[in-house]
Amino acid sequence: MKSARKTETYTATQNACNLCAPLGAALVFKGIANSVPLLHGSQGCSTYIRRYMISHFKEPMDIACSNFGEKTAIFGGGANIKLALDNIRRQYHPDLVGIATTCLSETIGDDVPMFIKAYRDANPDEDLPALVHVATPSYQGTHMQGFHGAVRALVETLAEATSRNERPAVNLFPGMVSPADLRHLKTILADFDLAGNLVPDYSDTLNGPLWTEYHRIPPGGTPVAALRATGGAAASIECGLVLADEPKTAGTWLQERFDVPLHRLGLPIGIGQSDRLFQVLSKISGKPVPEKYTARRGRLLDALVDGHKHLNGVKVALFGEEDLVAGLAGFCGEVGLVPVLCATGGGKGRFAQAVHKVVPERYHDQMQVMEDVDFVTIEKALEAIDVDLLIGHSKGFTMSRRLQRPLIRVGFPVHDRVDGSRLLHVGYRGAQQLFDRIANTVIEEKQKKNAVGYTYY
Ligand code: SF4
């Protein structure tokens, strides 16, 4: 297996295969009930992030901004953040304001924790919302560092050693998955009769039903009370094979501070990683895996046997967020697909190892693993290898067009299809849907290219 970071001729990132750090943080804060994300920095950053997220989720996307101008860039943004917090409280009456920094405020070195303390000190008699800050300099990390940093900041700021109710509660940190994935994970927790502190939960806030009246803040999300209860949970589960090697996460903090046992798993994509999730939930709850999931797993195995002839040996290229790609690589290995290229714009030096761990050894010498790379580098690598189809997000569409290979859309962002929020990746049901989509695409390609036009395959 070859692994690489940047090309020898690398000059600067062109068409990045990652997004900016405050975007990941804003997504997390959108998954907290009655919460408003506030970007401390320039307006363009929040506009870009809003536009990007609207295009994927197709929902209203209020993200406040402290609106830096030229003077702020010189004298600092203390006054701006105070004004922003006053405005947000007056207009939204939130339970929580999640404050993420942009490159500009990080570059000038604004001391946001001090600004928050000064704001609290100036309003001693007010019932203030929870104020949670995460540093998100985009020149140091991707949207995934922003995402996981915001999750950690939420529990560090709010967790208490109290339990929310009688049922054993589990903290589930699912990583950056789709609203459909979050809904599915909540159902699984409920089927084990576990009270779940799911952080974040944007399954309703970013994929809600049609409204009959406008809501300034969409209903749904992880309640602040659930964030406080994370310190008293029976266990934490953190999903992500690359994240599993990160020393400072929400789960490790709760383990150190409140002795909450931590289970670190991959994203539950495919059979092996889903099995691990079900085993851990069974252990925490003291209950066997519910029959409906055993039956679903059995049906999935049957489908894999039926469709194996279509996928065995098909060469795929995977790209996108590091933990999603690692999860998909494991899934590919399970169903006979050869992941000849696994690429991510992030990775932090741990990606190759994570992929290596889940893909069967027999494929390793056919694989190329690239981290911290952009789309120019990925496309160049793909021109040199034989690949049948691409699996990744919409930013890979132009590449798939030039290479004339079909693109199966997964993850974020999905800008050029209507179902980004409804894509299911996790659990046996997610694996079934992925398998069906991939197998049908392979069959469709064969039909298109075949002169005879077979209707049976
Ligand atoms: S300047 Fe930094 S924070 Fe703002 S959009 Fe660009 S990368 Fe993101």
| Cβ 306 vs Cβ 366: under 8 Å | no
97 and 133 within one domain: yes
| pLDDT score at 165 | 58
Pocket test for ligand 1, best of 99, 103, 145 (most atoms within 8 A of CB): 103
124 and 39 within one domain: yes
- Determine the distance from the C-alpha atom of residue 105 to the mean position of all C-alpha atoms in its chain, rounded to a whole number: 25
Q: What is the DSSP letter of 195?
A: E
33 and 135 within one domain: yes
Distance between CA atoms of 229 and 223, rounded to whole angstroms?
10
272 and 186 within one domain: yes
Query: Ligand 1: distance of its center to the CA of 104 in Å?
Result: 8
Q: Per-residue pLDDT tens for 60-116?
A: 999 999 999 999 989 999 999 999 999 999 999 999 999 999 999 999 999 999 999
291 in a structural domain: no
Residue ending a domain, among 285, 309, 341, is 285
- Output the domain CATH number for residue 322: 3.40.50.1980
Q: Per-residue pLDDT tens for 189-235?
A: 999 999 999 999 999 999 999 999 999 999 999 999 999 999 999 99
267 and 188 within one domain: yes
Nearest residue by C-alpha to atom 8 in ligand 1: 20
Pocket test for ligand 1, best of 13, 20, 140, 142 (most atoms within 8 A of CB): 20
Q: Per-residue pLDDT tens for 275-288?
A: 999 999 999 999 99
Residue ending a domain, among 231, 261, 285, is 285
161 in a structural domain: no
159 in a structural domain: no
Pocket test for ligand 1, best of 138, 142, 145 (most atoms within 8 A of CB): 138
| pLDDT score at 111 | 97
Residues 6+ apart with CB under 8 A from 442: 310, 311, 314, 388, 389
Model pTM score: 0.96
Q: Is the dihedral of CA 3, 321, 442, 355 positive or negative?
A: positive
Q: Is 102 in the pocket of ligand 1 (CB under 6 A)?
A: yes
Beta bridge partners of 142: 20
Q: Is 46 in the pocket of ligand 1 (CB under 6 A)?
A: no
Beta bridge partners of 100: 39, 134
162 in a structural domain: no
* Whole-number percent of the chain with pLDDT over 70: 97
Query: Ligand 1: distance of its center to the CA of 456 in Å?
Result: 51
Nearest residue by C-alpha to atom 5 in ligand 1: 45
Q: Is 324 in the pocket of ligand 1 (CB under 6 A)?
A: no
- Tell me which residue range forms the domain holding 356: 2-9+299-449
Number of domains in the chain: 3
384 and 264 within one domain: no
| pLDDT score at 11 | 73
Distance between CA atoms of 328 and 267, rounded to whole angstroms?
9
191 and 106 within one domain: no
